[in-house]
């Protein structure tokens, strides 16, 4: 049985690796904690604020201000999954930028052409968001530039159109040639006010955007059409793997470190479950669970699974 499971995992892994997104946690779905205040993008595993205090929104948030789809900055459903990020690209009270970043799964190859894709939408709460801007894009670096990210009117790729739609996600897609072995990706507006187009829409003081489904890949078609779908992804940390996804009556978890495993529903509530320990294989009976989205957590690792009876 174990040999069959191993073969299945190898086959699935080879299929996934044929189309690689170099951005881990691209839809902000895996997290260490549900957000309960502003500036908590660090709770989305791998992501952090490089400048400012980037916000994290998730359906599981215990406070309405940081839930999805309705929160303190507007009403917007995620492109996929239950979560997205939010950042400032302009403030009418002075110069302000928020930049979020993440370490890529591997360094870029010099002279290789890469494709970038993500979705952005302008937040809509009039007492907060009064402006829109252009130049939302990416900048790459060899190291994480905490508090030192240059806003120097240059980026590896930027969207030159003013993104003003608050209802429909705008798809930002483009390409660039890597001129260095970059390891870190940053998202935001890297241009000063005089080199950005700023449009006033309401009484709020900020241009503030939700961000979701980030992709960086050498495969243009894969990246352009990328959308986080849990059923197409395997947890790639060798310490824990689980299948099938979606699951019906049983989930099998391979957990090499034998860490305690907890499972939460989409509201962040821990649910009861039965574990049958067989060396490093855990068999979880989910036959009585309601159909929906759940999160498997082992220590600070978290991954989404769908139960579909």
Kindly indicate the confidence band of residue 14, based on its pLDDT and cuts at 50, 70 and 90.
very low
- Sorted by sequence, the CB contacts under 8 Å of residue 6 that are 6+ apart come out as none
Determine the average pLDDT of the residues in 272-301: 70
* 64: pLDDT strictly greater than 90: yes
pLDDT of 287 reads 85
* 119: pLDDT strictly greater than 90: yes
pTM for this model (two decimals): 0.71
Kindly indicate the confidence band of residue 62, based on its pLDDT and cuts at 50, 70 and 90.
very high
Nearest Cα to 254, choosing from 274, 235, 227, 229? 235
Higher pLDDT, 146 or 84: 84
C-alpha distance across the termini of the chain, in Å = 24
* 268: pLDDT strictly greater than 80: no
| CATH code for residues 20-224 | 2.60.120.260
The CATH architecture to which 230-307 belongs is Sandwich (2.60)
Q: Which residues of 268-297 are buried (b: 16+ CB within 10 A; e: fewer)?
A: eeeeebeeeeeeeebebebeebeeebbbbb
* 155: pLDDT strictly greater than 70: yes
Residue 79 near residue 169, CB atoms below 8 Å: yes
pLDDT of 272 reads 64
Kindly indicate the confidence band of residue 269, based on its pLDDT and cuts at 50, 70 and 90.
confident
- Sorted by sequence, the CB contacts under 8 Å of residue 243 that are 6+ apart come out as 5, 8, 9, 12, 234, 251, 252
pLDDT of 281 reads 62
d(CA 264, CA 281): 20
Residues 72-103 have pLDDT tens digits of 999 999 998 899 999 999 999 989 999 999 99
Residues 171-191 have pLDDT tens digits of 999 999 999 999 999 999 999
Kindly indicate the confidence band of residue 256, based on its pLDDT and cuts at 50, 70 and 90.
low
- Sorted by sequence, the CB contacts under 8 Å of residue 214 that are 6+ apart come out as 23, 26, 27, 117, 118, 185, 187
pLDDT of 301 reads 65
β-bridge mates for residue 133, sequence order: 198
Residues 195-243 have pLDDT tens digits of 999 999 988 899 999 999 999 999 999 898 887 765 333 333 445 667 7
Determine the average pLDDT of the residues in 17-29: 81
* 108: pLDDT strictly greater than 60: yes
pLDDT of 178 reads 97
Higher pLDDT, 28 or 286: 28
Q: How many residues does the chain have?
A: 309
**DSSP designation for 35:** -
Higher pLDDT, 296 or 4: 296
Domain with CATH 2.60.120.260 in the chain: 20-224
Domain with CATH 2.60.40 in the chain: 230-307
* Residues 121, 223, 233: CA angle, nearest 5 degrees: 95
pLDDT of 15 reads 37
pLDDT of 240 reads 62
């Amino acid at each position: 049985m174990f040999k069959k499971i191993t073969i299945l995992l190898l086959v699935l892994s080879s299929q996934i690796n044929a189309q690689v997104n170099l951005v881990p946690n691209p839809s902000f779905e895996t997290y260490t904690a549900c957000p309960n205040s502003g500036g908590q993008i660090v709770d989305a595993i791998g992501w952090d604020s490089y400048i400012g205090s980037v916000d994290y929104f998730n359906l599981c948030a215990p406070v309405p201000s940081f839930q999805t789809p309705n929160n303190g900055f507007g009403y917007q459903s995620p492109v996929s999954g239950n979560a997205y990020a939010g950042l400032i690209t302009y403030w009418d009270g002075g110069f302000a930028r928020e930049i979020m970043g993440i370490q890529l799964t591997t360094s870029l190859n010099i002279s290789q052409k890469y494709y970038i894709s993500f979705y952005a939408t302008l937040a809509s709460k009039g007492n907060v968001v009064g402006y829109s801007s252009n130049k939302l894009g990416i900048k790459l670096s060899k190291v994480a530039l905490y508090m030192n990210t240059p806003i120097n009117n240059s980026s590896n790729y930027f969207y030159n159109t003013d993104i003003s739609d608050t209802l429909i996600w705008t798809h930002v897609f483009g390409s660039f040639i890597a001129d260095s072995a970059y390891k870190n990706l940053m998202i935001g507006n890297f241009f000063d006010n005089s080199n950005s187009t700023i449009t006033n829409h309401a009484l709020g003081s900020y241009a503030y955007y939700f961000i979701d489904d980030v992709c960086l890949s050498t495969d243009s078609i894969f990246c352009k059409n990328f959308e986080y779908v849990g059923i197409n992804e395997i947890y790639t940390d060798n310490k824990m793997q689980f299948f099938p996804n979606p699951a019906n009556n049983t989930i099998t978890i391979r957990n090499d470190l034998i860490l305690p495993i907890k499972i939460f529903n989409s509201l962040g509530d821990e649910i009861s479950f039965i574990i049958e320990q067989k060396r490093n294989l855990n068999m979880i009976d989910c036959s009585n669970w309601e159909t929906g989205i759940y999160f498997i957590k082992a220590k600070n690792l978290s991954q989404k699974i769908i139960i579909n009876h």
